[in-house]
């Protein structure tokens, strides 16, 4: 996204100090996640994409540490001591500014679906009239029984929407309104000085709250220029106030992400059963089979086939890999690797080019060299395995002695017989071999063969007589 407004004297304020009680959660609402990102990161990313780099986040004493832990120095923080309403939250945000900017753009911390395009449109709309004091981003014909609804004056037979009259909050509606309406997205662009002046005069609502939205009717009454820019799409207005809305927003976001990747040349066999986090990257002509989750900072190369039933988190996968019904966590997989079904790569697994991991193979904190094959159930932990090694079925690196973890080293082109126990620390040299069922407690030198329990070395053989 181009930072096309970077020249504008604008500050973004994100209000996130509410109780979030409708979530019924011990976790602060801004820390709940959607598509791998905490809710609070959405408004921040969107404002940054609009070229607004001066950001204030209004936090509560309870969620301050958690939010600043996620955002770090991307924003400055204003603490709202008690959640007295959205107007009070904005007043707190303004107080930490060294000077009042020309424009103040306000977002809620719980509307993750607002797009940068809409905010840029809102700012452009606001700036069409030098006298404009307040512009509200609204979505026409949206479903929002718990959202603020835009009230407009009757048109007296004229075409088009009537003039803005105010915003009616759900709590103040006489009857629940489940119909479509022009709804308030909770995104606003203000003239900074006007906002700083008027925010102090917002009256309490019937329920005793200080509504930011009251400023709309106040501006209308005072004859100040205020508009509702009805340019957002209906789904952008979806707020996350409870778990049901969290799931609904997640579904919309998933659909957006999936359509993005299909447009970029990735096949999703069943987009409805494909879960791709926002920060994932996928190469061209990769095919994602159903029931696949690509999460966190995962990258997938070109021409791969992932799934069905694959869960890949925070991992890097090269080109032309095939991963079936397996779980990969914090792992690295180079080009042309085959994994699965039913294998598990745990953190620190590094599978080099053209390696093959078949059924029920668990790898943790280990390098598996190029072209090495472990075709059937085994555990490879804390090990360094060279290229072209054959790991027989049932091989286990016994890396834990009950107190400490130890390393297993297997040299190039070694042959590990089925059911070998490698009692670490231990090494098997280049071209060495172990017999089926060997329990290897001592190093096996290069080219030698160890068999039995505990394993003993067989006499060295003449070359060519193997
Ligand atoms: C608010 C708007 C509503 C709009 C909707 C969009 C008001 C009065 N209503 O309703 O018109 O349609 O957002 O999603 O503004 N917050 C504080 N301090 C407070 C209260 C709230 O920081 O004292 C923060 C919350 O953390 C949240 C945001 O303000 O991020 C909105 O508050 P919320 O209670 O979710 O308001 P809505 O009922 O969604
Ligand atoms: Mg809300």
* Banded pLDDT at 407 (limits 50, 70, 90): very high
* Banded pLDDT at 315 (limits 50, 70, 90): very high
Contacts for 322-325: CB closer than 8 Å, 24+ residues apart: none
- Ligand 1: residues with CB < 6 A are 15-18, 58, 80, 83-86, 88-89, 108-111, 147-148, 167, 169, 183-186, 211-213, 239, 241
Mean pLDDT throughout 96-100? 96
Return the CATH architecture of domain 258-457: 3 Solenoid (2.160)
Which pLDDT score is estimated for 283?
98
Q: How far apart are CA 74 and CA 77, in angstroms?
A: 10
Please answer whether residues 382 and 398 qualify as being in contact, where contact means their C-beta atoms are separated by less than 8 angstroms: no
Which pLDDT score is estimated for 156?
72
Tell me which of 32, 126, 376, 406 is the catalytic residue: 376
* Banded pLDDT at 7 (limits 50, 70, 90): low
CA of 86 to the centre of ligand 1 (A): 6
Q: Give the global pTM.
A: 0.92
DSSP string, 32-99: -EETTEETTHHHHHHHHHTT---EEEEE-TTTHHHHHHHHGGGSEEEE-SS---HHHHHHHHHHT-SS
Percent pLDDT > 90 in the chain is 94
The domain segmentation of the chain, as residue ranges, is 10-237, 258-457
Q: Is the pLDDT of residue 152 over 50?
A: yes
Mean pLDDT throughout 336-340? 98
Which pLDDT score is estimated for 466?
47
Cβ neighbours for 357, distance < 8 A, ≥ 6 positions apart = 337, 338, 339, 340, 343, 345, 351, 363, 368, 373, 374, 375
Q: What are phi and psi of 455, to 5 degrees?
A: -65, 135
Q: Is the pLDDT of residue 84 over 90?
A: yes
Considering only residues 160 and 187, tell me which one the structure prediction assigns the higher pLDDT: 187
CA of 400 to the centre of ligand 2 (A): 50
Percent pLDDT > 70 in the chain is 97
Mean pLDDT throughout 327-356? 98
Atom of ligand 1 nearest to the CA of 146: 38
Contacts for 254-261: CB closer than 8 Å, 24+ residues apart: 254/35, 257/35, 261/288
| Nearest ligand to residue 170 Cα | 1
Which pLDDT score is estimated for 160?
74
Q: Give, using CA atoms, the residue closest to atom 36 of ligand 1.
A: 86
CA of 185 to the centre of ligand 1 (A): 10
Which pLDDT score is estimated for 155?
76
Q: Is the pLDDT of residue 329 over 90?
A: yes
Q: Give, using CA atoms, the residue closest to atom 16 of ligand 1.
A: 18
Between 14-18, 55-59, 151-155, the lowest mean confidence (pLDDT) is in 151-155
Atom of ligand 1 nearest to the CA of 184: 12
Which pLDDT score is estimated for 106?
98
- Pick from 261, 218, 255: nearest CA to 238: 255
Q: Is the pLDDT of residue 402 over 60?
A: yes
Q: Is the pLDDT of residue 154 over 90?
A: no
pLDDT tens-place string over residues 221-279? 999 999 999 999 999 999 999 999 999 999 999 999 999 999 999 999 999 999 999 99
Mean pLDDT throughout 385-402? 97
Please answer whether residues 227 and 164 qualify as being in contact, where contact means their C-beta atoms are separated by less than 8 angstroms: yes
Superfamily of chain region 10-237: Spore Coat Polysaccharide Biosynthesis Protein SpsA; Chain A (3.90.550.10)
Q: Is the pLDDT of residue 365 over 60?
A: yes
Which pLDDT score is estimated for 161?
79
- Pick from 333, 330, 410, 332: nearest CA to 378: 410
Q: Is 376 a catalytic residue?
A: yes
* Banded pLDDT at 433 (limits 50, 70, 90): very high
CA of 108 to the centre of ligand 1 (A): 6
Tell me what the pLDDT averaged over the chain comes to. Answer: 95
Q: Give, using CA atoms, the residue closest to atom 37 of ligand 1.
A: 147
């Amino acid at each position: 996204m181009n930072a096309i407004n970077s020249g504008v004297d604008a500050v973004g304020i994100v209000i996130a100090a509410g109780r979030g009680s409708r979530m019924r959660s011990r976790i602060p609402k801004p820390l709940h996640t959607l598509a791998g990102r905490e809710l609070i990161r959405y408004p921040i990313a969107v404002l940054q994409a609009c070229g607004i780099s001066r950001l204030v986040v209004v936090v509560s004493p309870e969620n301050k540490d958690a939010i600043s832990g996620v955002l770090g120095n991307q924003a400055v923080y204003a603490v709202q001591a008690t959640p007295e309403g959205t107007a009070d939250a904005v007043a707190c945000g303004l107080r930490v500014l060294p000077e009042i900017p020309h424009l103040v753009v306000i977002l809620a911390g719980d509307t993750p679906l607002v797009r940068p395009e809409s905010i840029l449109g809102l700012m452009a709309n606001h700036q069409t009239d030098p006298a404009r004091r307040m512009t509200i981003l609204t979505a026409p014909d949206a479903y929002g029984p718990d959202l603020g609804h835009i009230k407009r004056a009757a048109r007296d037979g004229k075409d088009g929407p009537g003039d803005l009259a105010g915003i009616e909050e759900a709590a103040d509606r006489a009857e629940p309104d489940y119909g479509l309406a022009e709804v308030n997205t909770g995104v606003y662009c203000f003239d900074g000085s006007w906002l700083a002046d008027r925010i102090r005069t917002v009256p309490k609502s019937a329920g005793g709250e200080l509504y930011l939205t009251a400023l709309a009717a106040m501006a209308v009454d005072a004859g100040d220029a205020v508009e509702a820019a009805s340019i957002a799409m209906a789904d952008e207005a979806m707020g996350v106030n409870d778990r049901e809305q969290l799931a609904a927003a997640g579904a919309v976001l998933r659909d957006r992400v999936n359509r993005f990747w299909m447009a970029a040349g990735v096949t999703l066999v069943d987009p409805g059963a494909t879960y791709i986090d926002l920060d994932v990257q996928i190469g061209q002509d990769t095919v994602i089979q159903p029931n696949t989750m690509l999460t966190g900072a995962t990258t997938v190369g070109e021409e791969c086939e992932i799934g069905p039933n694959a869960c890949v988190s925070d991992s890097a996968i090269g080109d032309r890999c095939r991963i079936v019904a397996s779980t990969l966590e914090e792992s690295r997989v180079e080009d042309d690797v085959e994994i699965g079904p039913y294998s598990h790569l745990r953190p620190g697994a590094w599978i080099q080019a053209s390696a093959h991991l078949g059924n029920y193979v668990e790898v943790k904190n280990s390098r598996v060299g190029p072209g090495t094959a472990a075709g059937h159930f085994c555990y490879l932990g804390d090990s360094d395995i060279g290229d072209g090694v054959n790991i027989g079925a049932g091989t286990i690196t016994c890396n834990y002695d009950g107190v400490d973890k130890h390393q297993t080293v297997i040299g190039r082109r070694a042959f590990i017989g089925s059911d070998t126990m490698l009692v670490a620390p231990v090494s098997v040299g280049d071209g060495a071999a172990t017999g089926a069922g060997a329990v290897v407690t001592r190093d096996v030198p290069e080219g030698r063969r160890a068999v039995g329990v505990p394993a003993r070395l067989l006499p060295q053989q003449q070359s060519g007589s193997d």
